[in-house]
């Protein structure tokens, strides 16, 4: 068995011996049972995003030797935490040094044939790092979402606010086709796309585009999916890509465009994870993906921020998500860079890159993600596990037969845990607000 424990800011994802975790007298006990015969979703992976800001910090600000040490620690299962899913913005997001698209043209002009289409911006940082990640971990899957269509395709002529013009639906569908084709030419297949990031949120201080449910359903069914079919694109199409508090949105899209939609993407900035389950029950043949959740200064470090990450991630996975992606792979000492005029950023990256000193810091999100990503491999199947009182659990069986259980003691006191798996019982003590990843070797392993 392998055990990795986090008990506080000074002990994050530290390998432990079972002998150092012995049950304590006078501590209440809970019983956890792992049932590998009862299975749920198959996992695609865990990860974060190479935003323009993140890719720039890692590729240009860090010294070369530091960068070459960081990348395996992000993507390699043996040397690091084994990130296996990347979701990159298609064009500028809020975390970019400037506003850009892949089809930026002078104001007042149009380009319905996309003659000026180019992914040149991504060739400097985003694409090379994404390709390096795949070289380190061939199981890495890449997803993509736009924060806005090119400004000329929109009702306001800008990448900030507005909606997609009706006469641009076909051009926007081809925008996705061209993006996927250009990435695939460079050895990077796109696993899934969403038509719009956070379609119900239209801030005016960074790229955004309002896309109500009826518009998204029409765009997918009558423009995007037909364009994919015509050009032999097999990339999955996920709808929604927004918070848990509006399950009516993906339900409408699935009602109207269901045969053209592979699943639903969710964010954690509103509502509760049970929305994922509710929509899946209505459409049980559709996939569930968690596509964005950022840590940030709105929850103080270390506690309760780490606790929030652990309990929320466990609940996301217990509600059928087959991938889980946090937000920025890296941000700087000012939680940036961000687009001009953004204001104050409160988000936290997986790592922090100080632009002044070039110092690299691994944040609590890196270690929290590690509890899931290091040993739960792509292709793993979630298996049944009970949550006893406030000891939250989620368990998986990997393709090699090993079983991984992640536990989080959300109680205000320590708890002795008696964990049962296939007739074998393992007893240990979990301090309050601590996380534990337990890997039980397959019978074929030494």
The domain ranges of the chain are: 2-41+383-440, 44-378
Give CA–CA dist 210/148, Å, rounded: 9
Q: Which residues are CB-contacts of 26 (< 8 A; sequence separation ≥ 6)?
A: none
- Chain segment 419-438, per-residue pLDDT in tens: 999 999 999 999 999 999 99
Confidence of residue 47 (pLDDT cuts 50, 70, 90): very high
- The torsion angle over the Cα atoms of residues 331, 333, 335 and 336, rounded to 10 degrees, is -70
Predicted confidence band of residue 222 (pLDDT cuts 50, 70, 90):
very high
pLDDT of the residue at 278: 98
First to last CA, the chain: 11
Picking from 422, 383, 388, the residue whose alpha carbon sits closest to that of residue 408 is 388
**pLDDT class of 442 with cuts at 50, 70, 90:** confident
Distance CA 252, CA 270 (A): 19
> CA torsion angle for 10, 16, 18, 21 (degrees, to 10)?
0
Q: Give the separation between CA 291 and CA 285, rounded to whole angstroms.
A: 19
- Percent of the chain at pLDDT exceeding 70: 99
Q: Which residue has the tokens 């918070």?
A: 243
CATH superfamily placement of domain 44-378: Glycosidases (3.20.20.80)
The whole-angstrom separation of Cα 293 and Cα 324 is: 9
Tens digits of residue pLDDT in 400-422 = 999 999 999 999 999 999 999 99
Hey, is 397 helix, strand or coil?
strand
Q: Residue 267 pairs with which residues in a beta bridge?
A: 243, 292
Query: What is the pTM (predicted TM-score) of this model?
Result: 0.98
pLDDT tier, 445 (very low <50, low <70, confident <90, very high otherwise): low
Q: HEC states along 291-303?
A: EECCEECCCCCCC
208-224 average pLDDT score: 98
Percent above pLDDT 90 for the chain: 98
Query: Residue 372: its pLDDT value, please?
Result: 98
Q: Using DSSP bridges, classify how beta strands 287-292 and 351-353 pair: parallel, antiparallel or unpaired.
A: unpaired
373, two tokens: 């990503």
Per-residue model confidence (pLDDT) at position 389: 86
Rg of the chain on CA atoms, in Å? 22
Q: Which CATH class is domain 2-41+383-440?
A: mainly beta
């Amino acid at each position: 068995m392998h055990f990795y424990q986090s008990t506080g800011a000074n002990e994050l994802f530290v390998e432990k011996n079972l002998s150092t975790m012995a049950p304590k007298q006078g501590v209440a006990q809970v019983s956890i049972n792992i049932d590998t015969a009862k299975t749920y979703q198959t996992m695609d992976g865990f990860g974060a995003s190479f935003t323009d800001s993140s890719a720039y910090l890692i590729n240009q600000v860090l010294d070369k030797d530091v960068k070459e040490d960081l990348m395996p620690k992000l993507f390699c299962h043996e040397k690091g935490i084994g990130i296996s899913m990347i979701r990159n913005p298609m064009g500028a997001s809020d975390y970019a040094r400037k506003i850009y698209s892949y089809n930026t043209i002078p104001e007042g002009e149009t380009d319905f044939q996309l003659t000026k289409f180019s992914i040149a911006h991504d060739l400097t940082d985003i694409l090379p790092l994404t390709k390096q990640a795949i070289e380190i971990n061939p199981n890495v899957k890449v997803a993509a979402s736009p924060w806005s269509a090119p400004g000329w395709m929109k009702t306001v002529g800008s990448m900030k606010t507005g909606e997609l013009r009706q006469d641009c639906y076909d051009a926007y569908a081809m925008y996705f086709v061209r993006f996927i084709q250009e990435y695939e030419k460079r050895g990077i297949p796109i696993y899934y796309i969403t038509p719009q990031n956070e379609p119900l949120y239209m801030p005016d201080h960074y790229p955004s585009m309002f896309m109500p449910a009826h518009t998204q359903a029409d765009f997918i069914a009558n423009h995007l999916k037909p364009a994919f079919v015509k050009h032999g694109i097999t990339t999955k199409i996920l709808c929604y890509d927004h918070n848990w508090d509006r399950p009516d949105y993906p339900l409408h899209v699935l009602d109207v465009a269901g045969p053209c939609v592979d699943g639903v993407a969710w964010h954690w900035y509103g509502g509760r994870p049970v929305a994922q389950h509710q929509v899946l029950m209505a459409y049980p043949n559709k996939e569930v993906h968690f596509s964005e959740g950022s840590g940030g200064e709105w929850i103080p470090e270390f506690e309760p921020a780490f606790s929030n990450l652990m309990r929320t991630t466990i609940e996301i996975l217990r509600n059928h998500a087959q991938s889980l992606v946090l937000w920025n792979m890296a941000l700087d000492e000012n939680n940036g860079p961000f687009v001009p005029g953004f204001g104050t950023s409160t988000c936290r990256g997986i790592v922090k890159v100080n632009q002044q000193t070039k110092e690299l810091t691994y944040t609590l999100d890196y270690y929290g993600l590690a509890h899931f990503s290091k040993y739960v491999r792509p292709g793993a199947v979630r298996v049944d596990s009970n949550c006893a009182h406030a000891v939250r659990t989620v368990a998986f069986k990997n393709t090699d037969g090993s079983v991984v259980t992640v536990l989080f003691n959300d109680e205000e006191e320590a708890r002795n845990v008696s964990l049962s798996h296939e007739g074998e019982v393992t007893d240990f003590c979990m301090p309050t607000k601590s996380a534990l990843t337990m890997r039980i070797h397959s019978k074929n392993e030494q």
